[in-house]
Amino acid sequence: MLLANCYTSCLNLAAENGVKSIAFCCISTGVFRFPAQKAAEIAVSTVEDWKAKNNSTMKIVFNVFSKQDEAIYNKLMS
């Protein structure tokens, strides 16, 4: 829940300030060792839900650390 709240708070703040695009790194998957698959699932679903609820056209970029992360995000977003 905390990880989802990080994304939601950032998106809300960005929208309040008229931001048209935002980039997110793989939050908590580095030194905190949160599982990459679960983190990506939370990130993608939270962003998709937020965009739908807010009828948003904001461009979202997921900046990944590795080829493995890239594959996870690509699969989730396909």
φ and ψ at residue 57, rounded to 5 degrees:
-110, 15
What pLDDT sits at residue 6?
97
Q: In whole angstroms, what is the distance from residue 44 CA to residue 21 CA? A: 15
Express each pLDDT in 10-63 by its tens digit.
999 999 999 999 999 999 998 888 999 999 999 999 999 999 999 999 999 999
Nearest to 61 by CA among 71, 47, 49, 42: 47
Domains of the chain (ranges, CATH numbers):
2-77 (3.40.220.10)
What pLDDT sits at residue 72?
98
pTM score, whole prediction = 0.93
